[in-house]
Each structure stands twice: as structure tokens, then as C-alpha cells.
Chain A
Amino acid sequence: MSTAAQAAAPARSRGARRVRWTPRRIVLLAIGALILLIVLFPGLFTSDTWNKVNVADKFLSPSWDHPFGTDEAGRDILQRMIHGARLSIGASLAVAFAAAAIGTIYGAIAGWVGGWVDRILMRIVDVFLAFPYLVLAMALAAAIGRDMKSAIIALIIVWWPSYARMVRGRVLSLKRDLHVRAARTLGASSAQLLRWHVIPHTFGEVNARLTVDIGYALVALTGLSFLGLAAQGTSPEWGLMVSTAKSFVLSAWWYALFPGVVILLTVLYFVRVGDELAGEES
């Protein structure tokens, strides 16, 4: 009786899954909302002159007016970082989501079809995993131009295989599950089974991994920017800020310090949320 009900139940019975709102989770959610707000509406937190050159104020050390100090053009570093969040975090989100989407579909197909198709598809995954991302990003940026776009593409290329492998493993076990067999007996096609009864069950793991990866993508992306492979010129992208600050590091320590601290805290945040999701999953 209970197994029959289970089999007939939709892929995710939303009512059954009640999130427990511990204080820690509320804090994490609040921080998430703040990050979202900063990414979407940086103007709310800064003055209109955030990017204006004001040489008289250059290299002011941190103070109440300029909590993170000012840079070589007299601009407030905190305000620039708030505007850079959209670039740095936005790009990391793009990398993680695109990699997860591509990897999930690819891995699901490999695991579902099985046999030699699976073997060939997974071999291709192995080839992609063999490339060190920094080097690939360099080659790619050299070929298609050094900007955020090619950095994002390079990171997606090296990131999707890990999802493909994870989802494939999950699908291999899912496809023998009772609810999938039941749905098949009811006449569902392969595409329907995958779409409604298999792939949704991988979301839990994928989401946890994806959240952590937003953080790690941020580390990778700012690294590429630091090498001059992603953001260019006077962009307030965080990695580029550290890169610019490198030249002034001996006279203005705060210039390199704060962007790095913010990157670190942002990464820690996403890793923490990912762990929370993974805990919920298991």
C-alpha cells in the first residue's frame, strides 16, 4: 500500500518536505537576500559619484567615510566593490548554473541510455576533466579575446563534466527505482520519465553542489581576472581590483586586502549554504 502510494506520487511532493527554519538558516537567508539586492541594485548602496575620479582623495586609508579606503584615483573602494559584485558574483552564478544544466542533461542521458553510448559519453567527460582550467582559459582567451565572456565560457567548459559524472551515477541507480518502473508501466515515454521522474530527483544533490560551486567559480574567475584574462580596464570586477592593487600593495595595503577579504567571505558564504543544502539532502 505504501509503496504503491510512493510510486504514484509526483516527483517531488512539496508538502512533505518542510524546511526547518533554524536561526542559522534565517541568518544565511538574510545574507543571501542582501547579496541579491547588491547584485541587482548596487545603486541603492552607493552614491552616484562612486566611479568618479577624484585625485585629491587618492589612497586615503580606511576611515568612517571610506571604510575600505580609496584607490589610486580617489574612488571609494567599498562602493566600487558593491558595483563589482554584479560582475564577479553574476559571472560565478552564470558559470555554476550553466555547468550544472549542461552536466545534468548530459549525465542523465549517459546514465539513462547506458551501454556503449554511456561509455563513449563518459570518455568524453574524462577528456574534458583532463584539462587544467587555468591553462584552458588562457588558450581560450587568447583565441577568442580576453574578456569576461571568454573567461565564463572557459570555466563552463571545465566545470560541466563533474556534474555529468555525478548525475550519471545518480541516474544509474534511479532508473531501477520502483517509482520509475511504475511510471513506465503506466506508459510514460523515456523523455517523460527523464523529465518528470528521474532528473528532478537529482536536483537535491545538484543544487547543493551548485551552491558550493558558485563560491569556487568566484575564486577561479577572480583568479582569471587577476591574470588579465577576464575583466579588463577600469572595470570594478573584484579580481581585477586585486590585480590593480598589486602595483600599490606596498604603499596602500588596504587596496588589495579588502577585495580579497570580501571574495573570501563570499566564497565561505556559498560553501556554507551548500553544506546546509547537502545536509538537508542526506
Chain B
Amino acid sequence: MTDLGPTTVAAPPTPSLKAGAGASRPARIALGVLTRIGWLLVVVWAAVSLTFILSRVVPADPARLAAGLQAGPEQVAEVRALLGLDQPLLKQYIDYLGGIATLDFGDSIQTRGPVLDDLLKALPATLELVLVAFTIYAIVGITLGVLWAVRPRGILSRLIGFGTIIGAAVPVFWLGLVLQVFLASKLGWFPISGRMNYNDFGVADVTGFTTIDALLAGNLSAFGDALWHLVLPVTALVASQLAVATRLMRTSMAQQLRRPYVRVARARGSSELRVVVVDALRNALNPVVTMLGMQFGWLLAGTILVEVVFSWPGLGLYAFNAFRTFDYNPILAITIVTTVTFVVVNELVGLIYPILDPRLKEDR
């Protein structure tokens, strides 16, 4: 096993590893990791530079923008000096990069504190929502995709097919509103908005994750309430993305099921369940895992709409409020943080992919 063939990965940023074609396997992997890290830095730099251009070059008067709507002329002048907006652009750019590198995103006008503190406070809420949604999304998407591939012409498959089309076309903010009106308001089955209230249950805020904190406190009714608040936002978030995973899983699974090894396994007398779940699924999962990584980033960005509908106090709602009040630093910070997270997750998936597929090659 010296020649492993061309080492390409299906993830979108596809660094070429040709340079190390003759090297040993560990060296090639190391080179691949380095290429990816280098690539990551380029994208982060691009994101930061873009926000710089958007905040300092595009607007007619950046100081006015940064100072906020209510600021008077003296305050604008103060902000101009404080942010160094009277300096040459190049110097501003270097200072800006320096600030971001030390995680200094400036202060928020709205909360009057450092943006970084606000972000850290809002992060657990968003992560909790996205992680739960992502887990359910992956499990449901893979299951439905497999069912669809196994019985392509059954009634269930038709339903799944129809459901994915609707799911992809439905505006997530509207779906959220509909769930809110009918399931929460009219039927009263779920809370209308927000998260579990720490004070109501006397649970200490340790991690910022309501479910984990409730469990840490051993308070089951609090845990139930935390889950209850998650149901509708998670449903909206999952429904809007489900089509992607389901369709890809179906295609990938259908491809595997047509392969000779599946026929061999069936001929050998393996049960259908074993053929599908043990033999085919493992191979069929590869492209799906890559895509799931990218979807995680999308969920993170797409959560803005859901958070706004359900008043979920995470990064999205924070960004939305910052936006409404023309609070500029938080918007920039969130652009950077979300983009960087998005790219990092994609890259991590790119790194996991060769591990999942030991042949380390693209054969489809």
C-alpha cells in the first residue's frame, strides 16, 4: 500500500496535495493539514478584510456609523479619534487587524460593554439550539434517506420526497411563525418563545446551556422545560434544512446498493437489514458526512431567522438587535465570528473525511 492514488477530498476547499506525491504517508498528511491551515488563515483574513472595507472604506462617514444614530458632533469626533479614523487607511487597516487578532471587537453602543463579553454571553444559547438541531437533523436526514433509497417506490418514499420539496421551499421564518401560532398559541402545547427561565426553577447558570445546567442541578422539571422550549425552534431549523441531507443520503445509498459487493452480500445470504445497515450504510455515509459539516455552518448562520421569530437570546438575536439600533461593532464581530466558525467547521470535516474513508481516495 505505497501508492494511495490521488489524494483529493470532496469538501469544497480542495487543497491539492500533489506537492507531496512522492513523500511517505505521514508526511503527506502533515502537508495536507498545513495546506488546510494556511487556507483557513487566508479565508479568515479575507473575512476580516471584507468587514474592514465594509466598515471603513464603503461608508461616506465611518465615524458617524460607528458612533451610532444618537451621537452628537463631539461624540462623532471622539469616536473618530478613538478608532483612529483620521489616520491613513493602511495604518487603520493594520490596527484593525491587530485588534481582531487580540479579540478586541470594540464596545457595543447598545449594551455599553465590550462586544466580546456580549458574544460569549449569547454563544451558549445559539450553540445549544444548533447542536440539538444538528443532531436531530443528521439522524432524521440519514434515516429518511436510507428508507427512501431502500424502497424508492413505496408510499413512504413518496411522502418523504414530497416533504423534502416542501421543506426546501418553505421560508423558515414563516414556518416558525406558523408553528408559534398554531402549536404554541392556539393549542398551547409549547411555550411561545424564549428559553427556560433560570430563576423560575432556581437553577444556577453554570454553562449557559439550559439543558446541561438543569441536569447539573438535578432538576428534572427544569430539564423538561428546557427541552420544551427547544422543540419549536429546533423543528423550524431542522425542517428548513432536512431536504439536503435526505436527498444526498438517498442518492449515495442508492449508488451503493447497486454495487457488486451488495449483490455478493445478498447472494451470500446476509439479511437485507444487515446488507443495508452494516455494509452499504458505512460506504454511503462518506459524502453525507462531508455535507453535514457544511450544513452545520449553515445552521449556525440560518439560526438568525429562527432566533428572531422565537426570541431565542443567542448570537442571531443579538445581531438582529444590534442591526436595528445601528450598533456597528457587534455586526462586524458577528460577521467575523460566524464566517470563521463556518470555515473552521468545514475544514475540520475535510480533515475527518480521509479518516472515515481509509482508502483515502475518491472513487465515485
Contact = CB atoms under 8 A, between A and B. Distances in A.
Interface of A: 119, 123, 126-127, 129-136, 138-144, 215-216, 219, 222-223, 226-229, 239, 242-243, 245-246, 249-250, 253, 256-257, 259-260, 263-264, 267-268, 271
Contact of B169 (A136, A215, A228, A229): A215
B339 A132 contact: yes
A246 B177 contact: yes
Give the 6 A-B CB pairs with smallest separation, nearest first: A132-B301, A260-B174, A267-B169, A143-B54, A139-B335, A143-B58
Tell me the dominant secondary structure on chain B's binding face.
helix
Given A132-B338, A132-B339, A136-B335, A142 B323 contact: yes
Given A127-B43, A223-B305, A250 B177 contact: no
A130 B171 contact: no
A91 B309 CA distance: 24
B189 to A, nearest CB: 15
Interface string B31-65: 00000000100110011001100110011000001
Given A132-B301, A249-B181, A138 B171 contact: no
B145 interface: no
Nearest to A132: B301
B96 to A, nearest CB: 14
B130 interface: no
Contacts of A119: 16
Given A138-B331, A215-B169, A246-B309, A257 B339 contact: no
B20 interface: no
User: On chain B, which size bracket covers the interface?
Assistant: 35 or more
A179 to B, nearest CB: 28
Interface string B157-183: 000000001101111111101101100
Tell me the dominant secondary structure on chain A's binding face.
helix
A123 B328 CA distance: 30
B253 interface: no
A242 B304 CA distance: 16
Nearest to A229: B323
B308 interface: yes
Contacts of A129: 12
A275 B260 CA distance: 30
Contacts of A142: 54, 65, 323, 326, 328, 331
Contact of A126 (B12, B297, B308, B323): B12
B165 A223 contact: no
B168 A271 contact: yes
A209 to B, nearest CB: 14
B302 A134 contact: yes
Contacts of B328: 142
A223 B323 contact: no
Interface string B168-212: 111111110110110001000000000000000000000000000
